[in-house]
Amino acid sequence: MATGSLTIDLDALMRNWQALNRASGPNVESGAVVKADGYGLGAGRVAQALAQAGARRFFVAVAEEGAAVRQALGPGPEICVFSGHMPGDADMIRDLNLVPMLNSVEQLTGHMEALPGHPFGIQLDTGMNRLGMEPAEWAAVAEIALAAGPELIMSHLACADTPDDPMNARQLKVFRELTEGCGVPRSLSATGGILLGRNYHFEVTRPGVGIYGGDPFVEAAPVAYLSLPVIQTREVEPGESAGYGCTWTAGDTCRLATVAAGYADGLFRAMGNRGHMFHEGVPCPIVGRVSMDLITVDISHLSVIPEALEILGADQTVDDVADAAGTIGYEILTSLGQRYTRSYAGGPGA
């Protein structure tokens, strides 16, 4: 039996991308980040819907992820690989026509030896200290790299979700200094950077989480709807407890529902005694610990016994669930389990 049904609203996904594209400004191209299997929602279907919405440049984390995206999109759109060109990737990068974002002098020379003339981009590190060439490295190879005609020069902001953080302006300044007059399309901003304003947009933006309905794009429409079937309900008397470790005890007579999903499905154990599920807009608290495949919910205040309870959708965003689990919406999305029955609503051809 499936542990729940996950519905992905491709129309909402397309609207979110279009809104971020508009926010990026009129002469700026918005790409779309579809790494981690399209933030857990299915890279192929997501990429097709975003191509239909107008995206022409896609970003993945590693070359292997490019395969599913290329298969879904066909030969036209550009697919950029953040991790660059790693040993053993040359055949895949060539055959799928991927664009590696080269992150070091080593990657640059490796790429030029393995695939001379093949398109590439450059990633610069402007202070996050995660991925990309350092300013001194770039100074050493910029002339050679620019002569080979990169498709894109990019960097990534560490604190874009916090608009007031002085790190944003610092990184912007460094990026400008490193790329002034380079004559190549530039990209600095993911979802958070798009919302920082025009200065941060350059020629290309790279929205990810906002497309999928997550913060910091607070106006985003929900994309993932997750409903969990109720397997059993029971009445408990005051003083009775529920779940492993008996961490919850009934104060009054209560009706509990047991739903068929748990931490093995990406519903984090930290939500025990903290999170909520919903029935027609009415919140129902999770009581006791989250088990591997089961969660217990207090439905005493409902006038009916529901067949299912919603955990993601119109009543509760991925970020609400993340708050209850002590994490971020990104991790909720990318942890969505493989046991759910997945279906897509709307999108191309709908």
Q: Which residues are annotated as a binding site?
A: 130, 292
Q: Is 173 a known active-site residue?
A: no
Q: In the chain, which ranges are continuous DSSP H helix?
A: 10-23, 35-39, 43-53, 63-73, 90-95, 105-114, 135-147, 166-179, 191-194, 318-325, 329-335
Q: Which residues pair with 277 in a beta bridge?
A: 284
| Binding-site sequence positions for substrate | 130, 292
Per CB under 6 A, 33 contacts ligand PLP: yes
What is the residue-wise DSSP string for 53-85? HT--EEEESSHHHHHHHHHHH-SSSEEEETT--
Q: Which residue among 82, 120, 248, 278 contacts ligand PLP (CB under 6 A)? A: 82
* 233: β partners: 257
The residue range among 43-51, 110-118, 185-193, 242-250 that interacts with ligand PLP, by the rule CB under 6 A, is 185-193
Nearer to ligand PLP, 123 or 227 (CB): 123
Using an 8 Å Cβ cutoff, are 338 and 40 in contact?
A: no
231 by DSSP, 3-state: which? strand
244 catalytic residue (yes or no): yes
- Which is nearer to ligand PLP, 157 or 294 (by Cβ)? 157
Distance CA 343, CA 7 (A): 5
Cβ-closest position to ligand PLP: 208
**67 exposure class (CB count in 10 Å sphere: 0-12, 13-18, 19+):** middle
Options 47-55, 91-99, 189-197, 313-321: segment touching ligand PLP (CB under 6 A):
189-197
Complex with ligand PLP: residue 125 or 298, whichever CB lies closer: 125
* Structure-block tokens of residue 85: 């060109």
**Counting contacts by CB under 6 A, is residue 190 touching ligand PLP?**
yes
Q: Which is nearer to ligand PLP, 298 or 319 (CB)?
A: 319
Q: For residue 200, state whether it binds ligand PLP (rule: CB under 6 A).
A: no
Binding residue for ligand PLP (CB under 6 A) from 191, 227, 291, 316?
191
Site for ligand PLP contains 224 (CB under 6 A)? no
Nearest to 174 by CA among 229, 124, 240: 124
Specify the residue, 42 or 272, whose C-beta has the smaller distance to ligand PLP. 42
Minimum gap (Å) between residue 210 Cβ and ligand PLP: 6
Q: Are strands 224-236 and 29-30 parallel, antiparallel or unpaired?
A: unpaired
79 binds ligand PLP (CB under 6 A): no
Segment interacting with ligand PLP (CB under 6 A) among 4-12, 91-99, 204-212, 260-268: 204-212
Which among 35, 263, 330, 344 is annotated as catalytic? Answer: 35
Binding of ligand PLP by 156 (CB under 6 A): yes
Q: Confirm or reject binding of residue 209 to ligand PLP (CB under 6 A).
A: yes
- The nearest distance, CB 260 to ligand PLP, in angstroms, is 30
For residue 15, the tally of other CB atoms under 10 A from its CB is 17
Instruction: Provide DSSP, 149-193.
Output: --S-EE---SSTTSTT-HHHHHHHHHHHHHHTT--S-EE--SHHH
Q: Judged by CB under 6 A, does residue 268 bind ligand PLP?
A: no
In the bound state with ligand PLP, the residue whose beta carbon lies nearer, of 191 and 317, is 191
Residues that bind ligand PLP (CB under 6 A): 33, 35, 82, 156, 190-192, 206-210
Which residues are the active-site residues? Answer: 35, 244
